[in-house]
Amino acid sequence: MPHTHEPHEDDLDTVPPPQPVFHVEQALLGALLLEPHHLDDVSGITADSFSTAAHTALYAAISTVPRPDPAEHAKNTTWLDRVLATARKQARGLTAPYLHALVQVCPWPRHAPAYARMVEAEHARRRLQSGAERLVHTVHDVTLPQPVQTVLGEADALAAVVDDVANRFPPRAGVLPRTTEPPPTASASASAEAAEEEQLLLATATAYPSDIEAVRWLLPGDLTLPLHAGLWQCLTTLARRREPVDPVTVLWEAQQRGLLNDGSEPDEVLHMLAEPAGSVEHWGERTLQRSLLATAEHTGRRIEAYAGDPANTPFQLVVGARRALADIAAVRTRWQQATGAVPSPRRQPASTARAGPPTTTAAHAARSTRATR
């Protein structure tokens, strides 16, 4: 006879099992409920360090309700009743049986400091993961009036969390996260816009090679397409050598570097380089801004991946996060050079003052003095 499932029979199968930190929190709370004086041995955590609302409320109650006399506490549950009543103001689902269960699952109350250190480590991991998620979300927020400034502010906030975790868990040299880094991502619309603007950058730089010197802060790696990155390197090389620059000379340099081996047609390259518009500085700044935001997103995703792997220790997370944040710092320095922004104090958002660039070839001769920076 076929088995008939009763309603909700398999509901428990859809509930993921608790993570190890949940059991650690139970052991710590059980130790403090059984022997409240161990609260003096616990440091580095607060109520917010716990992973569930019930445990948060319970630890807050344990920390605030006056401690009982040890002899009296061994005889009755008066203090436990007070702790429960206080905790239920924030977590109404707490019950007396759960408190007694916590006491029962605690292996050794004297191990409370070790349990607290584990709770602190897991909280540090969650803080890094949350900060990285906010950074990635900010990169994709199209409503921001000053996206670079806001993104750099989130990067600074994340760096401050990393510093705080490092103070609590000093990193060990050479201990890197074992997690595989996620590959860079880019939306189709962003890639199309980037390609168009990079083509304008290359064409305008070909028409006005003397302006390339003013955008030394722009590197080939800032361009999104390999062909565009290679053509920009051709342009900067020819300009540095003070050799003639026009679509034909750039095409020849590209051939010497093997850039056409990917199937790019010479006619298409010549056509692309022959349609300048606006100014080199404007398109260069646009390209650098896109590179900075892409770097910030990749940094956030790297740290998110590191923190999402529970096998990584806080020491590894600090080392990995600092290496990832160094990529943002490098692009940030060049952004400040490009925009003339004054470097802000450490861990503060960088300002982004920029003037409106000329938008036509005719206006090129009258562009602002920003080109002399």
Question: For residue 19, what is the domain's CATH number?
Answer: 1.10.860
The reported pLDDT for the residue numbered 343 is: 56
Q: Give the separation between CA 272 and CA 280, rounded to whole angstroms.
A: 15
Residue at 291 is within a domain: yes
pLDDT band with cut points at 50, 70 and 90 for residue 90: very high
Q: Which of the listed residues 79, 107, 135 is the one where a domain comes to its end?
A: 107
Q: Are residues 149 and 231 in the same domain?
A: yes
Residue at 204 is within a domain: yes
The reported pLDDT for the residue numbered 283 is: 97
The domain in which residue 339 lies consists of 121-373
| Contact partners, residue 231, CB within 8 Å, separation at least 6 | 202, 250, 254, 259, 269, 273
| Mean pLDDT, residues 296-309 taken together | 95
Q: Are residues 151 and 277 in the same domain?
A: yes
Q: Are residues 203 and 272 in the same domain?
A: yes
What's the whole-model pTM score?
Answer: 0.81
Residue of 198 and 189 predicted with greater confidence: 198
Question: Out of 46-60, 113-127, 300-314, 358-372, which region has the weakest mean confidence (pLDDT)?
Answer: 358-372
pLDDT band with cut points at 50, 70 and 90 for residue 89: very high
Q: Are residues 130 and 91 in the same domain?
A: no
Question: Does 158 score more than 70 pLDDT?
Answer: yes
Q: Are residues 63 and 151 in the same domain?
A: no
Residue at 29 is within a domain: yes
Q: Are residues 94 and 154 in the same domain?
A: no
What is the chain's mean pLDDT, rounded? 86
Question: Does 363 score more than 60 pLDDT?
Answer: no
| Mean pLDDT, residues 40-48 taken together | 93
Q: Are residues 127 and 62 in the same domain?
A: no
The reported pLDDT for the residue numbered 372 is: 35
Question: Does 350 score more than 90 pLDDT?
Answer: no
Q: Are residues 46 and 135 in the same domain?
A: no
Residue at 1 is within a domain: no
Residue at 5 is within a domain: no
Q: Which of the listed residues 107, 133, 154 is the one where a domain comes to its end?
A: 107
Q: Tokens standing for 357?
A: 């660039």
Residue at 4 is within a domain: no
Q: Give the separation between CA 233 and CA 227, rounded to whole angstroms.
A: 10
DSSP letter (8 states) at residue 4: P
Q: Are residues 86 and 200 in the same domain?
A: no
Half-sphere exposure of 230 (CA within 13 A, CB side): 17
Residue at 197 is within a domain: yes
The reported pLDDT for the residue numbered 360 is: 37
Q: Which of the listed residues 85, 107, 129 is the one where a domain comes to its end?
A: 107
Q: Tokens standing for 350?
A: 């960088």
Residue at 227 is within a domain: yes
The reported pLDDT for the residue numbered 15 is: 56
Q: Give the separation between CA 217 and CA 284, rounded to whole angstroms.
A: 9
pLDDT band with cut points at 50, 70 and 90 for residue 369: very low
Number of structural domains the chain divides into: 2
Q: Are residues 234 and 101 in the same domain?
A: no
